[in-house]
């Protein structure tokens, strides 16, 4: 059998033994040298097989010690989780039907939020330049889906619009923030969104309970009124294993 096929067979053999708990959580896998001898593969091919298991979250390499089995519950969660499909070109009008955007996303999932913080602060420079003022009302929270940390959200709104309004209360009411902006005469007419990926910070890793995931999916959504005023900038940091972003448009 070609070596290319053999290294995949090695990975499958180790994967099966891990999932069947023949190698328990914390157990050390056979060394590269042992696997080279047992399977008749080059060291490079053995490393490719082990890299597959690491990428799947089944194992972790410890420098100078070897390769060890991780807790497979995280692997099973990632394998079995039905992703949240955010249809960005449709969800933006959800608030007009009295629904928060998140309610549009989570059909088939259980949804909750925590770590809510509401207050006024000086907006970061990148935000102040967009909203036209450095004094912002800020709503920050973490969203959980099916009990799993999914997304961190920081919403910045011009303080002169939202000060002493329901937007700065824990319960913003039907339609959420955008419903209340409409009540205040600042109905949102358009959105712009940027999406990018980057390495997770230590705090994001902790809050999103990322474990093996090293990167996050980020989005910055800007809401405009009909007259072109920026009413909100929402910065989101997402667990990339839990989301599919879908964009639809006409040809």
The pLDDT confidence band at residue 63, using thresholds 50, 70 and 90, is confident
- Give the least confident one: 17-21, 97-101, 145-149: 97-101
In terms of average pLDDT, the best of 37-41, 92-96, 195-199, 233-237 is 233-237
Structure tokens at 155: 């919403």
Q: Is the pLDDT of residue 1 over 80?
A: no
C-alpha 215, offset from chain centre: 9
Give tens-digit pLDDT for 148-178. Answer: 899 999 999 999 999 999 999 999 998 899 9
The pLDDT confidence band at residue 58, using thresholds 50, 70 and 90, is confident
Question: Could you tell me if 172 and 180 are in contact, meaning their C-beta atoms sit under 8 angstroms apart?
Answer: yes
Strands (E), the chain: 59-62, 66-69, 84-87, 111-122, 135-145, 148-158, 188-199, 215-225, 230-238, 243-246
Domains and CATH numbers, the chain: 3-78 (1.10.10.10), 81-246 (3.40.1410.10)
What number is the average pLDDT over the span 43-61?
Answer: 85
- What is the value of pTM for the model shown? 0.65
Question: What pLDDT is stored for residue 62 in this prediction?
Answer: 85
Q: Is the pLDDT of residue 96 over 60?
A: no
Task: Quote the radius of gyration of the chain (alpha carbons, Å).
Answer: 23
The pLDDT confidence band at residue 100, using thresholds 50, 70 and 90, is low
Q: Higher confidence at residue 243 or residue 102? A: 243
Question: Could you tell me if 216 and 198 are in contact, meaning their C-beta atoms sit under 8 angstroms apart?
Answer: yes
Give tens-digit pLDDT for 189-228. Answer: 999 989 999 999 999 999 998 876 788 999 999 999 999 9
Residue closest to 59 by CA, chosen among 71, 49, 74, 69: 69
Q: Is the pLDDT of residue 114 over 70?
A: yes
Question: What pLDDT is stored for residue 72 in this prediction?
Answer: 63
Q: What percent of the chain has pLDDT over 90?
A: 54
- Give the least confident one: 79-83, 132-136, 139-143: 79-83
Give the integer Cα–Cα distance in Å for 120 and 163: 9
């Amino acid at each position: 059998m070609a070596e290319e096929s053999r290294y995949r067979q090695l990975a499958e053999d180790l994967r099966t033994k891990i999932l069947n708990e023949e190698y328990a959580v914390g157990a050390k896998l056979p060394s590269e040298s042992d696997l080279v001898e047992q399977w008749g593969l080059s060291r490079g091919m053995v490393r490719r097989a082990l890299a597959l298991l690491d990428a799947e979250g089944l194992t972790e390499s410890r420098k100078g010690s070897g390769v060890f089995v991780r807790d497979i519950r995280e692997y099973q969660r990632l394998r079995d989780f039905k992703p949240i499909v955010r249809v960005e070109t449709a969800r933006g009008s959800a608030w007009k039907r009295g629904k928060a955007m998140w309610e549009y996303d989570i059909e088939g999932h259980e949804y909750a939020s925590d770590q809510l913080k509401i207050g006024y602060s000086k907006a970061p420079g990148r935000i102040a330049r967009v909203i036209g003022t450095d004094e912002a009302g800020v709503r920050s929270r973490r969203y959980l889906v099916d009990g799993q940390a999914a997304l961190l959200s920081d919403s910045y709104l011009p303080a002169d619009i939202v000060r002493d309004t329901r937007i700065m209360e824990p319960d913003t009411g039907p339609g959420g923030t955008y419903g209340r902006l409409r009540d205040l005469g600042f109905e949102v007419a358009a959105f712009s969104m940027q999406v990018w990926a980057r390495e997770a910070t230590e705090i994001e890793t902790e809050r999103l309970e990322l474990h093996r995931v090293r990167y996050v999916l980020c989005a910055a959504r800007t809401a405009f009124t009909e007259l072109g005023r920026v009413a909100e900038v929402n910065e989101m940091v997402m667990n990339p294993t839990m989301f599919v972003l879908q964009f639809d448009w006409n040809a």
